[in-house]
Structure 1
């Protein structure tokens, strides 16, 4: 904590969760430090804590010493929760209870990167608008349907503020500096950071579809957008082609020309990418993940997943098979899988397919 803070100094406490993202943390704290330096007075009293007061290791392996534990936070401080990878394990009951107590005291609560999950799990984003890193969007939406989830880089909803991570944290802090101390100071801090084009809360997190795929073709972009919008209820190739005024043969040629794969294959890969994020970020059952990604047959989902990623959905979560534990194997053509709760479940290997339309020929 800084010394010599005056009465008009705003205390800001950064709560580092285990495996937090160093970039988002630095992008959050540096604008406030530079605001103090530029203003030549202590506008913000900055401190860093962890749940227990022990050093915290970032996702990149760098260990950060902290100023104290959660109970050591000054009263009335704005709290910034810094999340990162495997955030579900880092959000503990003591942390949630502490956040709820602070919220009852009326403090401002901010979260960067996946820190929004800590606020949501504590019930502090219910009925509010928020954002989270795009990679965690599907899992967050499935777990916290009471939150109005935005794809913007940052969201300010009263005393709750969330930023998607990375440099979006800087954009949020520059906005707060401008709101609290004037746009001139915000611009000066931006100049100090050599950040010449700060973004507003109207900006989306991800590049446009044409920019991501490196192709500017309006009909191709529209079809890909429709695929993203219909992951749970996939559209047929005929329906996609009709939506953009093309024949299925023309659509096939379009995808082959620009993306070197068929529309069916591209669509399947999108669905499997979402499935992988849900498997890694949520506690949803494998069957629920399959349904959320448009697969009505668990065996077909498992086969497609293994073909894409080299392992089955169950093993994606580190579940060992029964043979490795000295247990009996399942029926022929299947693997008996040990689930985390100790139960056994049969995972089909090469069972007959009933969803040939979803598979790439």
Structure 2
């Protein structure tokens, strides 16, 4: 199978770029560490198979559906401590399957390097048959594979994708070869069907506490929220809530809530529909009424003041050279 065209690579200059961490997915990207957000994304297309890879230099959360009608296989080429998928810890070499319509819910630690391959389910099964393997993703479903990618395959791919992101990919390694190598490695790995599970065991249920509390926060961001109310929604005490957030997200519940609200404010500052509203009005709408404190927190997270975000206006389109249409 030949890969059409070259890899299109762009720099990550702000959190909004990461909405297309898997190109065209339109993910919700949340910045959880102080500015700047650095790194790069790269994309390639092969008929009905698309490739996306990212080198992320900031602590970032990405959520959303990767594709409505295709399956996506993700590989953690390099996942530092603190990286999570579906709120459970994942490490370098982990392989995850995302069925059509299912949610991607990842937390990337600084220094993360990933690969995502999106393709029709039938194409994955045909590729497995070419390797004399059986693959039925409908049975395994979404989840993290019980086995990591073998060390030799992982090391080779990691070196090549590090070179791609740094602009040092050797001329001898063609886009076709890189795409084929990555696709074959993942199909072969899943073709000896491992037992799938969503994340790792969580005997104390702390991930469930975080999931319930986080859903409550997202649904009620425009309302006054007390820690007691969030703890009740999470199904535990204040102490359990704090322990769960510290262990799962390395954040306090309050800090996480404030960052969510800052992201809502940033989204509206960049929105043409909200251009006539003052910064004070937008901030008040999301429960942050002290403008001096807001400015400091906003600058710490995004590296610029709210007024600077407003002045930039909406972000420009993706740079020329990316594929015009991705069949997600």
TM-score, normalized by length of structure 1?
0.34
Judging by fraction of residues, say which structure has more strand: 2
- Which of the pair has the greater relative contact order for Cα pairs under 8 Å at 6+ separation? 2
Which structure is larger by alpha-carbon Rg, 1 or 2? 1
Judging by fraction of residues, say which structure has more helix: 1
TM-score, normalized by length of structure 2?
0.37
